[in-house]
Structure 1
Amino acid sequence: MFFAPALRATRFTPRAHDRAFERFVNDAFAGTARRSPLVEQDDKSWTLSLDVPGFAREDLSIGIEGAVVRIKSKADAKRQFKAAYELPLDIDAAASEAKLENGVLTLKLAKVVPVSQVSQLQIN
């Protein structure tokens, strides 16, 4: 006879594959499946492309705060849409642009160039 002791934990922690299955079921049956945007990157900017069929320019609002871009539909729009994406570096809102064409929202988000705050210290 083989005996394998059972280890008891003080609190329940679900395993990673359980959470992956839970996300799959929620996305499949919730009716609002989250779609990740197509992201392209170069030295100066990121380009995000999202499918938002049925929305007009007036229906969407885009907000940029630091490294987070938030896209949501206005309250009076026919449908509701809400998404937020966090990028690795801050976004320069003044140099960024958005374009909606044939149901595809394309955001060209300029990167903020980090300024080095290093100062030299003289050795005595």
Structure 2
Amino acid sequence: MFYSLATRPARSFQRSHAPAVSNGALESFLSDTFSSLSNAGTAKAATVEDLEKTYALQLDVPGLAKEQLDIGIEGDVVRVTSKDDAARKVKAAWRFPLEIDAANSTAKLENGVLTLTLGKKVPVSNVSQLAIQ
């Protein structure tokens, strides 16, 4: 099971009924908690850019060394996971519109930012002509 760090729209918390018991401290806590959760969805932990021949993926992984990360490419899915001995746990996956060419892809870790340049695999047409008799 993999979790994506991509930005998703946050759901807002709205009450459809009045509370049974009025508790100012509880109401304040719930209001602060749910408003901070809805704002947390706007933070960008990862960015993906679709370029002409490649995809560029940047992921923040502060405190991790390159030896503590595994990057797997399978078809159109890219997975980034941290190893068990890593100080921080990372588990993310992305699905791209085209398959990834692992031979033409690179990864670089610099100042806590993992930058993947993922080559796009050019689709090959398997159309054959059929003669009419």
TM-score, structure 1 normalization:
0.71
Quote the offset at 1:107 in angstroms: 0.2
Aligned CA RMSD, in angstroms, stands at 2.6
For residue 28 of structure 1, report the CA deviation from its aligned partner: 2.9
The one-letter code sitting in structure 2 at the alignment partner of 1:110 is G
Counterpart of 2:27 in structure 1 is none
Measure, in 2, the Cα distance between the counterparts of 1:65 and 1:87. Answer: 11
Measured in 1, the distance between the counterparts of 2:12 and 2:104 equals 40
Alignment equivalent of 2:11, drawn from 7, 11, 20: 20
Higher relative contact order, structure no. (Cα contacts within 8 Å, ≥ 6 residues apart):
2
Is 2:115 the partner of 1:106? yes
Task: State the partner residue of 2:84.
Answer: 75
Identity among equivalent positions (%) equals 55
Match of 1:56?
65
2:55 corresponding residue in structure 1: 46
Residue in 1 aligned with 2:132? 123
**Letter in structure 2 aligned against 1:85:** W
**SS in structure 1 at match of 2:127:** coil
> 2: CA distance between counterparts of 1:83 and 1:35?
14
Q: How many residue pairs were aligned?
A: 102
Cα distance in structure 2, aligned partners of 1:69 and 1:49: 12
Aligned equivalent of 2:5? none
Deviations 1:13-48 (A, max 9, x none): xxxxxx8237x95x939x9x9845211222211000
Gaps of 5+ in 2: 1-9, 14-32
Q: Distance in 2 between matches of 1:78 and 1:34?
A: 22
Question: Residue type of the partner of 2:12?
Answer: F
Q: CA deviation at 1:61?
A: 0.7
For 1:101 and 1:58, locate their aligned partners in 2 and report how far apart those are by CA, in whole Å.
13
- Give the letter aligned to residue 55 of structure 1: L
In 1, Cα distance between the equivalents of 2:59 and 2:113?
6
- For structure 1, the 5+ residue unaligned runs are 1-18
